[in-house]
Amino acid sequence: MQASLHTFDPGTTAGSVILDTGKVVPFAAEAFDASGLRHLRVGQRLSIELTGDPEVEGTSVSRLWIVGIGADQTIR
């Protein structure tokens, strides 16, 4: 699934994405820290995995990476 970065706090490395449906879904620092990324910019397109149904409250992003880079590829 893909989404656009909605918010990002470089200090905490937590933020949120906005799905193409308009729903905002948060991600914790752990999801960003495991991504191998150093920084994100608002509006950037990301590939994401969710913890549950995007229409259910409490769903969050469990994994994120740059669009076009395979989920199993390491960013160097």
Domain regions of the chain by residue span: 2-66
Whole-number Å distance between alpha carbons of 45 and 67: 6
Q: Which CATH class is domain 2-66?
A: mainly beta
Full-model pTM: 0.83
pLDDT digits (tens, 9 = 90+) for 18-57: 999 999 999 999 999 988 889 999 999 999 999 888 888 8
Supply φ then ψ for residue 52, to 5 degrees: -165, -155
Beta strand 14-19 pairing with 24-27: antiparallel
Tokens for 71, please give them: 């989920």
Cα 13 to chain centroid, rounded: 11
